[in-house]
Chains A and B, each alone.
Chain A
Amino acid sequence: MAVIELQDVSKLYGFGDATTLALDEVSLKIEKGEFVAVMGPSGCGKSTLMNLIGLLDRPTHGTYSLNGRRVDRLRSNQAAKLRRDTLGFIFQSFNLLPRLTVLENVALPLSYTGMGTVKRQKIASNILERVGMQNREYFLPGQLSGGQVQCAAIARALVNNPSLLVADEPTGNLDSNGSLLVMELLSELHKVGNTIIFVTHNPELTRYATRVIYMHDGAIIQDEQTEIGKVAKTARKQMYNVSRSSEEDDLAGVSTLMKALPSKPSVRTKAKSRKRASSKKPKATQKRAKS
């Protein structure tokens, strides 16, 4: 059974003329134990996808199953409980509470389960030991380096023993040493069986992944299985020019609706103009032949 199964998931923001299509009929299946990297230019919908997978947001259309259970129409409280029990979210900006110690921050998700202070702090301490942060338990986030703070954030994401770790640019705010620390940690977690999906702009980090997904304009344009230790083949290529829409795609779905919007200068328009030009060409040559 797939951990994540997205079927034709779309996400629209705004109303009327101001509507923005953030995700365009995305379908995705992630199996247990996969280490998935999501790449793509800014604004392509990576974070929206992470938010949907992390149950921080709901899709406008389509279905989303987490561990075989439909979760796309959950009420906010049910989603909160699932976030607490099944998911671990790692943010680019760490998002630790500055007034709490590292230990208290890591134990925070457990506090919402009603667990006693001693028990939850013991669990949090064990997790911090796993991520190599036990000697920083009583530090405030402001007293740590970026890499260490992100390690603490990873510990917080792990504290409920989640079935899926979702990381939205976990190395985005870190220097190379910090990035290495965080990615090695995520890699260790993957080795012990965790399912991880992370967003990155750095092609080098695809070395850690078993699968790389490329996104553009709210759609998945390529899905590549890779070998751990090697950079994905297409990771360094310029992916923006790849046509993502065919005539069949245009027949139905949200893409058709969005075509009418003037703010959508798409690959599709260019393709059509090219097509029009090529269909005119033979006529011209015919005329020349007649004359």
Chain B
Amino acid sequence: MTFMLNKNIGMALHTMRSSRARSFLTMLGVIIAVAAVTSVVSIGNGIKSAVTEQTNQYSKNVLTIRPAQIGGTESSLATLTEANATASLTTKDVNTISKVPSVVDSVPLTIVAGSAQGDSSFNGVVFAVGGELSTVVNQELAFGAFFSSTDSNNLAVLGATAADKMFDQRVPLGRSFTIRGQQFIVSGVLDKFASTPFTGSTNFNNAIFVPNAAVRSLAPNGAPVYEVLAKVDSDHSLTDADAAVAKALAKKHGGQHDFAVLTPAELAQATTSAFDLLTQLIVAAAIITLLVSGVGIMNVMLVSVTERIHEIGIRKAVGATNRQILNQFITEAAVLCVVGSILGAIFAFFVCLFLRIFTSLAPIYDWRAAGVACLAACGFGILFGALPALKAARKDPIAALRNE
């Protein structure tokens, strides 16, 4: 049996070599499908890993309180817009949160609409925050210092990307820019946050931080609180603190849970679950590609059987049974798929490498996904190769021998 398999594989490779172009075009579908599945899953893994890393870096021991039930596992990408739409958190809530015993420090993030005009114009997010932000999110400043509540209202701290885009010089400390006609002076630039695209959390690298007191002049009608970050004492567990904050807030909101208290894990989960969904969708599309490539293989195998009818006749004449002919052609289809899958997996590896080097995405190559994709490709190959193989096996030896 093993010997027959070896022989069939040898024959299949021989056939592939003798018609290289056709074999490659047949395999192309499998290569693309396996590469697509593997790359997408790898990119997803990379993003999930980055989100976890990001969470661990600056939101460790930090609870995120957002308006309404929007930050949960069900929704994630639309957090900002929904937050603005509902805006159920106020500055009073910030006081309530800070009074919870396990909370060491808390800082509200209020969104102020408007673009900034430095050396060049910049459309980022403008947050009005307290001076505690740096300690709460555990992020050092690259240059300068964070403003405190006692400082002047016209100081601002820039995210790393914002600083790059707004000013030509590398260290823009002391430079001024305007938001809604009001002038601000750069007092510090934050270190670059481990940021990931498409995440539920706002990218702080693109943000401009102004003091809370500046809200009054920038937005006289008041601005919505996007979220409140609360740092929990390391002696207390996050879950207990989560419950305590939720209880305290609900009491103030008349028993209404129109807010969400999220632990770092939940915050990360919101992002990762969205990515899982996206990955599943793309994988489903790739499976359809695999199916289509299976049809391609069936087509080529049918042509191959028609071309080799005489050979089938000779093999049958010297004693090959129907099953042995069937196995030979199924093996050929499977070999096409296996070789195609391996090439696809290798191609995906290089795609991941390329993305890792040249983009901010940092895919983590998923061997398991590559393996599953290869197995699926082989399964489809055998499935679709069975029909032509059956056609070959059922050939009448006399009729086949007459076919030159």
B3 at the interface (CB under 8 A from A): yes
Q: CB-defined interface of A64-96 with B at 8 Å, one 1/0 digit per residue?
A: 000000000000110011011100010100011
Interface string of A40-68 (1 = CB under 8 A from B): 00000000000100101100000000000
In chain B, what residue has the closest Cβ to A77? Answer: B321
Q: Are B322 and A112 in contact (CB under 8 A)?
A: no
Q: What residues on A are CB-neighbors of B310 within 8 Å?
A: 95
B377 CB to nearest A CB, Å: 27
Residues B318 and A108 in contact, CB atoms below 8 Å apart: yes
Question: Closest CB of chain B to A228's CB: distance in Å?
Answer: 29
Please tell me if the beta carbons of A80 and B4 are within 8 angstroms of each other in the complex: no
Do the beta carbons of B321 and A109 come within 8 Å of each other?
no
Q: Given A56-B398, A95-B401, A116-B3: A89 and B317 within 8 A (CB)?
A: yes
Tell me if B322 and A84 are in contact (CB < 8 A): no
Distance between A92 CB and nearest chain B CB, rounded to angstroms = 11
Whether A80 lies near B401 (C-beta < 8 A) is: no
Residues of A within 8 A of B311 (CB): 97
Contacts A57-B398, A99-B18 given: A108-B317 contact, CB under 8 Å? no
A83 and B18: CB pair below 8 A? no
Chain A residue at minimal CB-CB distance from B7: A111
A56, A57, A96, A114: the one within 8 Å of B3 (CB): A114
A156 within 8 A of B: yes
Q: Is residue A234 within 8 Å, beta carbon to beta carbon, of the partner chain?
A: no
Would you list which residues of chain B between 311 and 329 have a CB under 8 Å from chain A? 311, 313-324
Q: How far is the CA of A160 from the CA of B324 in the complex (A)?
A: 18
Q: Is A117 close to B, CB under 8 A?
A: yes
Q: How far is the CA of A109 from the CA of B316 in the complex (A)?
A: 9
Please report the C-alpha to C-alpha distance between residue A91 and residue B6 in the assembled complex, in whole angstroms.
29
Is B319's CB under 8 angstroms from A80's CB?
yes
Distance (whole angstroms) from the CB of A74 to the closest CB of chain B: 12
Give chain B residues whose Cβ lies under 8 Å from the Cβ of A97: 311, 314-315
Which of A51, A83, A115, A116 contacts B318, CB < 8 Å? A83
Q: How far is the CA of A89 from the CA of B6 in the complex (A)?
A: 27
CB distance from A108 to the nearest CB of B (A): 5
Chain A, Cβ-Cβ closest to B325 = A80
- A112 cross-chain contacts in B, Cβ below 8 A: 315, 318-321, 324
A95 and B14 contacting across the interface, CB-CB below 8 Å: no
Q: Tell me whether B385 is interfacial, beta carbon within 8 Å.
A: no
- Chain A contacts for B14, CB-based, 8 A: 99
Among residues of A, the one whose C-beta sits closest to the C-beta of B318 is: A109
Known A57-B398, A77-B323; contact A108-B3, beta-carbon cutoff 8 A: no
- Tell yes or no: B1 within 8 A of A by CB: yes
Interfacial residues of chain B within 289-346, with CB under 8 A of chain A in the complex: 310-311, 313-324
Which of A85, A108, A111 counts the most B-chain CB atoms under 10 A from its CB?
A111
Q: Please name 9 pairs of A and B residues whose Cβ atoms are closer than 8 Å in the assembled complex, sorted by A.
A: A56-B397, A56-B398, A80-B322, A81-B321, A84-B318, A95-B317, A99-B14, A114-B1, A115-B3
Chain A residues within CB distance 8 Å of chain B: 51, 54, 56-57, 76-77, 80-81, 83-85, 89, 91, 95-97, 99, 108-109, 111-117, 156, 160
User: Top 7 nearest A-B pairs by Cβ distance?
Assistant: A84-B319, A109-B318, A80-B321, A77-B321, A112-B319, A83-B319, A95-B314
Chain B interface (Cβ within 8 Å of chain A)?
1, 3-4, 6-7, 14, 18, 310-311, 313-324, 397-398, 401
